[in-house]
Structure 1
Amino acid sequence: MPNDTIDTSALGAPGRLHPELATELVRIVGQEHVFAEAADKLRYEIGARYGEGKAGFVVRPSSAAEIGEVLALCLRTGTPLIAQGANTGLVAASTPNETGLQVVMSLERLRGDVIVDRANRTATVGAGVTLQDLNEKLAADNLCFPIDLGANPSVGGMIATNTGGSRLVRYGDVRHNLLGLEVVLADPPGQVLDLMTGLRKNNTGYDLKQLFVGTGGAGGIITRAVLQVHPLPRQTATALIVPTGQDAILDLLIALEGEFGDFLTAYEGISKTCIEAVLDHMPSVSNPFAPEPIPDYMLLVELSATASRETLGMDLQEALNGFLEQHFDVLVANALLDGGPDLWKIRHSISESIRHQGKLIAFDIAVPRSAMVAFRAEAIAMMDARFPFLRLYDFGHWADGGCHFNIVWPKEAEQKPDDATIESLRIAIYDLVVRSYGGSFSAEHGVGPYNERFYHRYTADTVQEFAGRVQSAIDPKHVLGQVWFGPER
């Protein structure tokens, strides 16, 4: 649209936004891709679980060049900018605050073609492509990007948060599968940093792309990536296993790794309360152990192989069944075999189901997996002593030491939720995780406004100082990202 025909009358200038901002945003991306009305902005202002605010404008560029112009404009006018992918994050890193003075830059139009190099086993993809769309495209070549999640994030968002998921033990997180990156920099404003290589071996100095992995959009806006992709499994085997006790869980994991090696793709712990929540929220799901009661704790195990039964000379499900028989009564008290998709449906329904049980107080934590049993026992004992009215719904990735240690303040509890008690609980859990067990307060959700205070509480002063120097070097005006990784100010 020519500049002299641009209609900015509907865009206004909410709050104290620069008076030229609306006109310039429209000039860069077109009127239809700049939102100022409340109804149009709403879905960009509310996070998946946390984070809700007011955007001054929402702008939807379609290229690195447009992103560069918008970024330079925001720097010139002193306007804070938030890059947003699919907005599925859980730490409020991609949602605006309440001021109405921030511009939300949605990257959903950065789709373009997914370029698959079958021989190199890579995919070149725009930051706005979703995980589901990527895997649908890859399936035509019998490939996949095996980050297994309950959400459908964008590629750029997965890189910015370094997403893990249920199959990390086999495939690693996003960082381990990222080969190349294109980033629009804050300094110089709008400059494109081209790190788009499909090389697995490239030992030529600093691996600069890692500066933008897991840092929540600080320093640069991810626009494209080269991803390592993997062959689709040709056979899988699953079982829902009841261990003989908590002490058997790690012994069983070690035995499975010793027997099956890289065939082990998932080892997920699930507590009884989680299954009860799914049954309560989803009437179509029945107790998988019926007519027996639900056990106190269970493990969802998956093996997979890219070789066929004939080539491998082994049927994975038969091999898993035989393994469990060998360890029956020693490590295994009960097992449901060959559950396949139905068992994973239960697993992926947990997060949504427990939200309906009361006020959710979520913890995304990790400890060395050798400490998981001890941590869980000590955390439960602490809760029983200090917060007996709360209920634990824990599940997660025992094979990589991760756990969604989710706690619910039940609707029926006589004492009603209050901020002081919740903060006291958070400090108690995180102190136990980080200071007693050498763990992480954020295993895979990243750091955002929701949990930034814990970054400053638990991260060593020397680490914060160095991180702040790096962040200031690549973004001197701190225009990108919502977290300051330097010492608390």
Structure 2
Amino acid sequence: MNLRYCEKNRVRGTTESKMTSLPISDVQAALAGLIGQANVYADPADKARYETGARYGDGKAALVVRPGSAAEVAAVVRYCVDTGTPLIAQGANTGLVAASTPDASGTQVVLSLERLRGEIAIDRANRTATVGAGVTLQELNDKLAEHGLCFPIDLGANPSLGGMIATNTGGSRLIRYGDVRHNLLGIEVVLADPPGQVLDLMSGLRKNNTGYDLKQFFVGVSGAGGIITRAVVQVHPLPRQTATALIVPTSQEAVLELLIALESEFGDFLTAYEGMSSSTVQSVIDHVPGVANPFAPEPIPDYCLLVELAATSSREVLGVDLQSALNDFLERQFDVLVANAVLDGGPDLWKIRHSISESIRHQGKLIAFDIAVPRSSMVDFQTTARRMLEADFPWLRLFDFGHWADGGTHFNIVWPHDATPAYDTDTVEKLRLAIYDLVVRQFGGSFSAEHGVGPYNERFYHRYASPEAQVLSGKIQQAIDPRHALGQVHFGPSPKP
């Protein structure tokens, strides 16, 4: 078998390639010489778990390489760029836009970062952690907990830190702590140009106003131009008390009014404000063991809100019991903004929220939307989108949930297995355009609030990003990686046919 090398030349939104052929055995031998034969996988069984994405992106890798240091990453990048070998960086492979999985060609080399671990260095005084790109979120938080600290990006998956930076993940507690970008102080990155050069931006400074913040060029671009190997992240004190409630609003309009009232009453204590429709909660109850209707014996309401308050001070120091304060607040809002509430549910309520994605996979073929609109537009968007679905796609089912506090929502739609008509990709594309046009063009929102841009949704980037933004983004990408050797997305203009 020969491995086909290509020098990418993007034309009309596709990749045209200048190809040469070289036996794959030669490539395997060269990479094994750089990082050791045990860390180069060619056997289909060994490669399998690196070839399938969390939701999309089933492909076929020519090889999988697992470097164990920045120096080894640099050596692999240098070899692959110099020879024109297609190379894809992959963290924990939990992404949802196919940015870290190979395509079906069988010509791409997957560079897994899972061995980039090393010691998690915690600086308590500076409140920072220095981590390898292969360290997972759970591993980092387990280590931080020993020091009373946490990295509070709350996600349903367990990604690696390198992948979290490359996609700029957000999560359920973004309103309090921000996304990864807001908590990132420094990175070490292996560049595509010059091939394999290691750029050390490993600063632990929170204040550094000395020109371009170069690390930001590698945040949220899914591996374009460079491979992150280490990072310095800001960490936070663990909460010493929390309060939770599952709230039924009196109306859809009351959802936003209640959020405003909570922010006015509790300020920075508000850490999460998550909305869930009745179909979504019912799906969890039906398909996740150990989860029951929290409102029993009453039925599940049309819509409910998971609210969390948190404080890093104890009740004694703060002089306030947050759960009692939240309960008192909700009592004052009964019949005004609150129709019902389940108080102090803690982990049981969060289990419902964190089990949603797992549960709705049982309902049929998932058509997922990771979108955001201004908070002030959330009610109008939800109403307009629901009416459009009922009118134009009545056989589909909506399982929506998400982060009202930051304007984000997972507007997930399922095509039931037994629905008529049967699943059809042309109709799905029509649905996607209808939803995204509504989000972006009518409500000034984003077609990708959290998951980033990858091969799965690159066409929508070119549809919605302004021509001026695409031109500037293309210039930046061209300057960092003139051969487009790293990353699977082209951020410059894509001429229409």
TM-score of the pair, normalised by structure 2? 0.95
1:78 matched to 2:78? The reply is: no
Structure 1 residue 23: Cα displacement: 1.1
Give the aligned partner of residue 282 of structure 1.
Answer: 288
Structure 1 residue 410: Cα displacement: 1.2
Structure 1 residue 75: Cα displacement: 1.3
1:387 matched to 2:393? The reply is: yes
Secondary structure of the structure 1 residue equivalent to 2:317: helix
Match for 2:120: what amino acid? Answer: V
Give the aligned partner of residue 103 of structure 1.
Answer: 109
Give the aligned partner of residue 99 of structure 2.
Answer: 93
> What pairs up with 1:333-372 in 2 under 5 angstroms?
333-372=339-378
Structure 1 residue 379: Cα displacement: 0.2
1:458 matched to 2:457? The reply is: no
How far apart, in 1, do the equivalents of 2:4 and 2:359 lie? 39
How far apart, in 2, do the equivalents of 1:426 and 1:250 lie? 26
> What pairs up with 1:212-361 in 2 under 5 angstroms?
212-361=218-367
Confirm or deny: 8 A CA contact 1:244 1:329 kept in the other structure: yes
Over residues 32-74 of structure 1, what are the superposed CA-to-partner deviations in whole Å (9 max), with x where a residue is unaligned? 1000010000000000000011100000001111111101111
Match for 1:370: what amino acid? Answer: S
Match for 2:379: what amino acid? Answer: V
Confirm or deny: 8 A CA contact 1:18 1:77 kept in the other structure: no
RMSD over equivalenced CA pairs, Å = 0.9
How far apart, in 2, do the equivalents of 1:236 and 1:69 lie? 47
Secondary structure of the structure 2 residue equivalent to 1:336: strand
1:18 matched to 2:28? The reply is: no
Give the aligned partner of residue 439 of structure 1.
Answer: 445
How far apart, in 2, do the equivalents of 1:15 and 1:205 lie? 41
Give the aligned partner of residue 202 of structure 2.
Answer: 196
Confirm or deny: 8 A CA contact 2:4 2:22 kept in the other structure: no
How far apart, in 2, do the equivalents of 1:243 and 1:326 lie? 13
Structure 1 residue 412: Cα displacement: 2.3
How far apart, in 2, do the equivalents of 1:282 and 1:174 lie? 30
Over residues 251-280 of structure 1, what are the superposed CA-to-partner deviations in whole Å (9 max), with x where a residue is unaligned? 100000000000000000000000111111
Secondary structure of the structure 2 residue equivalent to 1:18: strand
- Alignment length (residue pairs): 478
1:135 matched to 2:141? The reply is: yes
Give the aligned partner of residue 60 of structure 2.
Answer: 54
Give the aligned partner of residue 6 of structure 1.
Answer: none
Confirm or deny: 8 A CA contact 1:186 1:479 kept in the other structure: yes
How far apart, in 1, do the equivalents of 2:419 and 2:278 lie? 20
Secondary structure of the structure 1 residue equivalent to 2:310: strand
Confirm or deny: 8 A CA contact 2:82 2:195 kept in the other structure: no
Confirm or deny: 8 A CA contact 1:13 1:22 kept in the other structure: no
Confirm or deny: 8 A CA contact 2:162 2:228 kept in the other structure: yes
How far apart, in 2, do the equivalents of 1:269 and 1:476 lie? 43
Give the aligned partner of residue 383 of structure 2.
Answer: 377
> What pairs up with 1:394-433 in 2 under 5 angstroms?
394-433=400-439
Secondary structure of the structure 2 residue equivalent to 1:355: helix
Secondary structure of the structure 1 residue equivalent to 2:309: strand
How far apart, in 2, do the equivalents of 1:15 and 1:158 lie? 31
Over residues 108-159 of structure 1, what are the superposed CA-to-partner deviations in whole Å (9 max), with x where a residue is unaligned? 0000000000000000000000000000010110000000000000000000
How far apart, in 2, do the equivalents of 1:462 and 1:346 lie? 42
Structure 1 residue 18: Cα displacement: 3.0
Match for 1:183: what amino acid? Answer: V
Structure 1 residue 13: Cα displacement: 4.6
Over residues 157-208 of structure 1, what are the superposed CA-to-partner deviations in whole Å (9 max), with x where a residue is unaligned? 0000000000000000000000001000000010011100000000000000
* Match 1:159 to one of 165, 168, 182: 165
The gaps in structure 1 that reach 5 residues or longer are: 1-11
Secondary structure of the structure 1 residue equivalent to 2:55: coil
How far apart, in 1, do the equivalents of 2:289 and 2:462 lie? 43
Structure 1 residue 404: Cα displacement: 0.1
Confirm or deny: 8 A CA contact 2:3 2:22 kept in the other structure: no
How far apart, in 1, do the equivalents of 2:282 and 2:256 lie? 24
Over residues 344-371 of structure 1, what are the superposed CA-to-partner deviations in whole Å (9 max), with x where a residue is unaligned? 0010000010011011000000000110
Match for 1:231: what amino acid? Answer: P
Give the aligned partner of residue 488 of structure 2.
Answer: 482
TM-score of the pair, normalised by structure 1? 0.97
Over residues 226-264 of structure 1, what are the superposed CA-to-partner deviations in whole Å (9 max), with x where a residue is unaligned? 000000000000000000000101110000000000000
Confirm or deny: 8 A CA contact 1:116 1:123 kept in the other structure: yes
Match for 1:175: what amino acid? Answer: R
Secondary structure of the structure 2 residue equivalent to 1:334: strand
How far apart, in 1, do the equivalents of 2:155 and 2:205 lie? 26
**Moved segments of 4+, more than 2 Å:** 12-20
1:126 matched to 2:115? The reply is: no
Match for 1:193: what amino acid? Answer: L
